[in-house]
Structure 1
């Protein structure tokens, strides 16, 4: 099960925080801070999976003591693209490689919806960001991973912004700042 999806910029400012597990606000805030620090300080050649810090793994969840260990959040999976970190917190029952692919599909969908997405698109058009995520994950369960279906679902809901932010920016998107395609960049 997916417990949370987080998107941060390089300065640690959250651009998306979506929790699928009931947590106290104070635990969410500490988790957001700890996860960013943990992920941003990793060397560039490091693996994109790591164990969840004890903060969430041991407290704040809505599970009872009789819950199975596999239901407890325990894994952080992330990808770093240009100025953004895309992070998924999940249980040990989720495949880390499948989560890396899920992040890739999410980023590719945003790139198609915004035609060369940049951080400002995510700030000013957060509805599209959330709608795209809800086409892929509902209640912590992945329901769709086919890129075309995700993009069409968002478009069918009419949640794609008109993009006044991007007009005339001349290729200043995340992909151009890396000298290549945003979604093709492997990051860390």
Structure 2
């Protein structure tokens, strides 16, 4: 089972924390403990380690023989960390981290740390498409990306239908179909004023135009 998914930078500042098992102690303490374990490891070492000292942080005790393990990968200034038990494959979790990173990269186009800060809700949504309740749901990046795109489209349509006065070409659905947006109203006013000016100019030109048969 996957007990937690964490993302923090090389300074130990958490950018995403998702726990699938209730905690006995604070999440900040757990993140600091895990950061202390992996930050001192050399790059030549493997990307997973046993961490029995973390069992006291979880309210759900692991079964006999199932020890907690920390599986992580480092990308630029970020650590992607999974806290799992021995029922999970370390190599499988490493592949799952790669799936998560590729999904984030597709959503944000060259994802960086600031994307995780300012779009944390979308990051949690992408993670929920991959993992639910500590179990893996999907590992196909294409399927994950399609689900995220469809959800984003549904949110936009819902916002447009519930906000008929929002700027745009009109709301989606019957609620916004017959209503004019503020931008449309302003455009109509400007267009009408412009047409009136042209008509006045045309009328003035005709009034001062001399008949062809008159001598000056």
1:134 paired residue number: 128
CA distance in 1, matches of 2:52, 2:37: 9
Aligned residue for 1:76, secondary structure, equals strand
1:23 paired residue number: 23
What stretches of structure 2 of length at least 5 have no aligned partner? Answer: 154-216
Q: CA deviation at 1:68?
A: 2.5
1:50 paired residue number: 49
Contact 2:105 2:111 in 1 (8 A): yes
1:185 paired residue number: none
Contact 1:73 1:89 in 2 (8 A): no
Larger Rg: 2
**Bigger strand share:** 1
Q: Deviations over 1:27-82 (max 9, x none)?
A: x322110101111111011100101241x22x243336xx6225x55110000000
Given the superposition, is the C-alpha separation of residues 6 and 41 from structure 1 closer, same or farther in structure 2, using an over 3 Å criterion? Answer: same
> Greater RCO between the two (CA within 8 Å, min separation 6)?
1
Q: Which runs of structure 2 are paired with 1:1-188 in the superposition (5 Å)?
A: 1-26=1-26, 28-54=27-53, 56-57=54-55, 59-63=56-60, 68-69=63-64, 74-158=68-152
Contact 2:25 2:57 in 1 (8 A): no
What RMSD in Å do the two structures reach over aligned CA positions? Answer: 2.2
What stretches of structure 1 of length at least 5 have no aligned partner? Answer: 160-188
**Bigger helix share:** 2
TM-score by length of 2: 0.67
